[in-house]
Amino acid sequence: MRAAERRHLDETEDSAISEGMQQVIIDNNRLLDELEPPAEVTSLSRLFSLRSVISTASSFAIFNQSQQGLESYQRIGFGQCGLVFTKPGSAHVVKIARPYFSDALWEDFLSHLRLFKALSLHSDTQCHIPRVYSYINKDNTAWWDANTALLPPNSDFPLPSQAMITERILPLPKIIRLALIDKFCPEALRESAKASPLNNDCLARMYLGCRRTPNAPPTPNFSLRNFNFCLDQMLELGLPVEDYAREMAACLAILHWHARMDGFDIEFVLGSDAELSYTTHVAQSLGMDVEQLEELPKHSDIEVLQRLNFQRRVVRLWVLDFNLCNRFPMGDAFILEHEEEILSQLVLAFFENDPYYPLPLMEMNVDRQLWSIFRQEYEKKAAEILCASEALKHLPLKFLDACVEREQRKLEKGLGHGHRDFKG
């Protein structure tokens, strides 16, 4: 079996494959992981493409596949309103509300559903949103009795609480994580950063609207978990920043004019997604040759084996975290009646967010070009959405112009680019 084929494993919790065969596959991929060379900077543009598929034999992929079906949760992240847990090998996460944030989690759930519905009607966008699977009330004794003991103990995080179950955004593949560490982590911290299991949960916040402070001292606490990926770093690696700008713009237009939300405090992150089945030959997708397939037990459930492939990873731009979003009524009449108020709220949300979006009136040519691309794509998608709403067609352009006018006012006051009135 060729080395390239060995990298295409599928294994899920109901696998009928023998334990011996599972261990052989896992051991083979662990060896491949140890031999896997680091990525050269010249190849990172391809790896960071929103359409790239990366075959990985990383310890994360092997561990997830080998652990599918085990019954324990691990914390992989946190947000303002909750902590995020997953079972190793699982394709879902559980977001559990912090104390006093139950209502915020419910708002997150409702806004998430609304934007998911809107994005699902625009198949041309490359910005993804996790699927919503369920919402668990704290009074659901059956669920909490079955799951509380599986969650890590936390004295300041009382259970039961409200919980939301969504699709898991898989972290960036190991080859990308290692490249980020080699490029941006202080040399004295690199080995510990590579060895830290916390850095396996790597999602990159895509900050197209800011650069690092020139000549700033290196960070003493480098981490890939919620990595702040600034524009100058992306440019240094030759990444497809114009693609990111287009997809953010299209998503924001859909959010504003289809889902009728302001997008306050949402996040755009680069993560990955497990490639779905039915795209490759069965032997290749399983990382096995025909002889090994012949050794499987009779009537082995190949579909179960192929259902989720942690080792074929597609790099994706994701949008998430909607607990602070304001939702507007869906009818045009409400928008027209409250036009100025709503536009002011959209502009506020644009600037109060973390600096994901390109900004107007920047000094450097590449920044100006990114704003131009962002603006054109936003106008294009908004016009498509509002083609049947003659009374609202002027609003997207009015929003963009208001963003430029606000930026000009802040610059004239010496407050700098992208000034945030409330978050500093």
Q: Is residue 94 part of a domain?
A: yes
Model confidence, pTM: 0.81
Closest CA to 90 of 167, 15, 37, 171: 167
Closest CA to 116 of 133, 104, 128: 128
Q: Is residue 85 part of a domain?
A: yes
Q: Is residue 386 part of a domain?
A: no
Say yes or no to pLDDT of 313 above 80: no
In this structure, of 89-98, 204-213, 304-313, 329-338, the range with the lowest mean pLDDT score is: 304-313
Q: Is residue 108 part of a domain?
A: yes
**Domain with 134 in it:** 74-120+129-167
Q: Which residues of 364-399 are buried (b: 16+ CB within 10 A; e: fewer)?
A: eeebeebbebbbebbbebbeebbeeeeebeebbeeb
Predicted confidence at residue 146, as pLDDT, reads: 92
Closest CA to 272 of 357, 167, 180: 167
Q: Is residue 113 part of a domain?
A: yes
What are the C-alpha distances in Å from 184 to residues 104, 189, 219, 233, 424?
Answer: 35, 10, 10, 8, 26
Tokens at 79, concatenated: 């947000």
Q: Is residue 91 part of a domain?
A: yes
- As a three-state string, the secondary structure of 311-329 is EEEEEEEEEECCCCCCECC
In this structure, of 141-145, 208-212, 232-236, 301-305, the range with the lowest mean pLDDT score is: 301-305
Predicted confidence at residue 47, as pLDDT, reads: 73
Count the domains in the chain: 1
- Give the angle subtended at the CA of 414 by the CAs of 408 and 419, to the nearest 5°: 65
Percent of the chain predicted with pLDDT > 90? 64
Tokens at 245, concatenated: 């700008």
Q: Is residue 321 part of a domain?
A: no
Q: Which residues of 224-255 are buried (b: 16+ CB within 10 A; e: fewer)?
A: beebebbbbbbeebebbbbbbbbbbbbbbbbb
Averaged pLDDT for residues 52-73: 55
Predicted confidence at residue 78, as pLDDT, reads: 85
Say yes or no to pLDDT of 212 above 50: yes
* Domain at 91, CATH number: 3.30.200
Which DSSP category does 261 fall into?
A: B
155-167 pLDDT, tens digit each: 677 899 999 999 9
With H, G, I as helix, E, B as strand and everything else as coil, classify residue 149.
Answer: helix
Say yes or no to pLDDT of 183 above 50: yes
Closest CA to 340 of 350, 352, 330, 348: 348
204 CB contacts (<8 Å, ≥6 apart)? Answer: 172, 180, 227, 229, 269, 270, 271
Q: Which amino acid belongs to residue 296? A: L
Q: Is residue 156 part of a domain?
A: yes
Q: Are 355 and 370 contacting, i.e. CB atoms less than 8 angstroms apart? A: no
Percent of the chain predicted with pLDDT > 70? 78
